[in-house]
């Protein structure tokens, strides 16, 4: 079939292995010091490996290739024991660290908020108020977050428009707390998030989905993508939509 798939320029590749770590489908391996796409049917075409490549050796191309085989990917993950365990070391899951180098803005991290929670309780006991970040993981951009990231398993998913955290003052406490947050702006990104969101929901055990959008019309694209993804996933998951006004009020929930 004709579809979008990654292309690796071996002349640019320095064999760092970051792309192989970023590809949670296991499609890429390092062979003789170069990254190679070993399993075309494992490549989902979302390009989680692209932003991690320090030399720009990975691009998209459209060509004849086997269809993405989600069942084969899932079987390979189970065989290799991926997504096993949930231990955190210094707030970062070992499976998310990846090799040194590459773009730090794209490397997966999960944060432990236990110290902040204790600090918050101490401050509250002293009648002080100290804001605490409720972001649970990195990256949080829909375009950058890997479909198979371990933090999605058992997650309450928050799909939020970029502007909501700036418009609504209590975004962290009311919406982000206890959830895995992914954000985007369909107008600025110029993409339809439906396929990627559908894969995230389909491939992981998502408990619930909350969509927080702005009242502006372009945010309708984010809501529509999320709703279509939920429908296309074939799963029945509790979900809700919350709309924020431009002056920072909740219009409906």
Span 208-224, pLDDT tens digits? 999 999 999 999 999 99
pLDDT at 88: 39
Give the pLDDT band of residue 102 (cuts 50, 70, 90).
very low
Lowest mean pLDDT among 33-37, 127-131, 140-144: 127-131
3-state secondary structure 61-106: EEEECCCCCHHHHHHHHHHHCCCCCCCCECCECHHHCCCCCCCHHH
The answer to whether residue 119 scores a pLDDT higher than 60 is: no
pLDDT at 121: 53
- The pLDDT mean for the chain works out to 83
Could you report the per-residue pLDDT of 38-54, keeping only the tens digit for each? 999 999 887 778 776 87
The answer to whether residue 117 scores a pLDDT higher than 60 is: no
Q: Pick the closest to residue 227 from 247, 246, 216, 213 (CA basis).
A: 213
Could you report the per-residue pLDDT of 236-253, keeping only the tens digit for each? 999 999 999 999 999 975
pLDDT at 23: 85
d(CA 204, CA 147): 8
The DSSP result for 104-132, as a single string, is: GGGS-EE---HHHHHHHHHHHHTT-----
pLDDT at 98: 44
Could you report the per-residue pLDDT of 68-85, keeping only the tens digit for each? 888 888 888 787 765 433
d(CA 146, CA 105): 13
Could you report the per-residue pLDDT of 136-192, keeping only the tens digit for each? 998 899 988 888 888 898 999 999 999 999 999 999 999 999 999 999 998 888 889
Residue 109, strand partner residues: 138
**Token duo for residue 239:** 């979900």
d(CA 168, CA 166): 6
């Amino acid at each position: 079939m004709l579809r979008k798939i990654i292309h690796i320029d071996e002349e640019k590749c320095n064999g760092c292995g970051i792309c192989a770590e970023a590809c949670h489908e296991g499609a890429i391996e390092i062979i003789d010091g170069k990254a190679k796409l070993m399993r075309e049917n494992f490549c989902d075409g979302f390009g989680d490996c692209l932003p991690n490549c320090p030399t720009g050796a990975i691009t998209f191309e459209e060509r004849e290739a086997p269809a993405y085989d989600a069942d084969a990917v899932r079987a390979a993950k189970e065989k290799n024991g991926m997504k096993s365990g949930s231990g955190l070391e210094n707030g970062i899951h070992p499976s998310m660290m990846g090799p040194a180098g590459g773009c730090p803005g794209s490397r997966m991290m999960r944060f432990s908020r236990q110290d902040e929670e204790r600090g918050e309780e101490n401050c509250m006991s002293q009648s002080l108020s100290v804001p605490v970040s409720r972001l649970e993981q990195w990256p949080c951009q829909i375009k950058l977050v890997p479909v198979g990231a371990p933090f999605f398993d058992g997650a309450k998913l928050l799909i939020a428009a970029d502007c909501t955290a700036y418009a609504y003052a209590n975004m962290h406490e009311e919406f982000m707390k206890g959830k895995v947050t992914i954000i985007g702006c369909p107008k600025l990104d110029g993409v339809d998030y439906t396929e990627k969101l559908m894969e995230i929901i389909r491939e992981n055990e998502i408990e619930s989905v909350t969509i927080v959008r702005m009242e502006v019309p372009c945010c309708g694209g984010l809501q529509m993508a999320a709703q279509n993804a939920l429908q296309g996933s074939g799963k029945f998951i509790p979900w809700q939509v919350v709309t924020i006004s431009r002056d920072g009020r909740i219009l409906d929930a």
